[in-house]
Amino acid sequence: MAITEQELEIFRAVGNNEKTAIESVYKENYTLIQHFVVSNNGSEDDARDIFQEAMMVLYEKSRQQDFELTCQIRTYLYSVCRRLWLKKLQHNRRIESQVENFDRIVPVEEDIEEHEKLNGQYLIMRTAMGKIGEPCKSLIEAFYVHRKNMQEIAGYFGYTNADNAKNQKYKCLVRLKKLFFAQYKNA
């Protein structure tokens, strides 16, 4: 089936982390994936985890310049979820069952491998963040995750001015960098 312009628009918007797009993809596809996972030995929580991981893959793909969506979002998500879930079933050595068939599946093996690599890097940063301690963790999160400006951060953390907060941020950043590379070498 051809991909509509609207579909491509939503795909792009997911990459920009736009809430409405995420919601519409969620609404249209969650039940399908939920049904797939739950009727193949999975729980409700498994369904949510698998779907959200597939959304991460979709997000990464959308941000990637050289990736072109060649099938419907629904087909893509289903293919990724199916692969992820099979992997998980095998990993847990549950009884390998005949996973029910679906007519349209696209190959996503490489995409998932890539996602796992990216996720590994993300986890390295997360471990480093977990080790840095307070107030550094909150400070860095406020800036890089919640995108607060230095003025707001100064107010929130009780620094007398934005410059002081900035100084503190760089101190934390240098520490985090050390932790990050230490973690990186171990990984």
Partner 1 sequence: MDQLQLAELVERYLKGEMDIAERQAFEQMRMNQPELDQMVVEFHYFLEEMDRYGEIRRFKSNLYDTHHTLQESGEIKELQLDTKARIINMWNKYRRVVAVAASIAGITAIFISGMLSLFTPKAPFDDIEELRRKVSNLEKQSSNQRAEFNRFKTKIEPGTDVKFGGTSFLIDAKGYLITSAHVIKGAKKIYVQSPAGEDLLAEIVHQDQNADLAILRINDADFEAPRQLPYGFSQSQTGLSEFVYTLGYPRNEIVYNEGYLSAKTGLGGDTMSCQISISANPGNSGGPVINKNGEIIGILNARQTSANGVVFATKIKQVYQLVSELKDADKDLNIKLRNASSLKGVSKSQQVNKVQEHVYMVKVVLG
Smallest gap, in angstroms, from Cβ of residue 186 to partner 1? 14
Smallest gap, in angstroms, from Cβ of residue 128 to partner 1? 9
Torsion sign over Cα 87, 89, 94, 97: negative
Contact 179, 132 (CB under 8 A): yes
When the beta carbons of 44 and 68 are compared against partner 1, the nearer one is: 44
Smallest gap, in angstroms, from Cβ of residue 143 to partner 1? 8
Phi first, then psi: what are they for 127, rounded to 5°? -65, -45
Smallest gap, in angstroms, from Cβ of residue 52 to partner 1? 5
Contact 142, 156 (CB under 8 A): yes
Positions in the binding site for partner 1 (CB under 8 A): 17, 19, 22-23, 26-27, 30-31, 34-35, 38-39, 44-45, 47-48, 52, 55-56, 59, 95, 97, 121-127, 129-130, 134, 137-138, 140-141, 144-145, 147, 166-167, 170-171, 173-174, 176-177, 180-181
Residue reference for tokens 């349209």: 104
When the beta carbons of 2 and 132 are compared against partner 1, the nearer one is: 132
Phi first, then psi: what are they for 137, rounded to 5°? -60, -50
Task: Give dist(CA 153, CA 57) in Å, integer.
Answer: 32
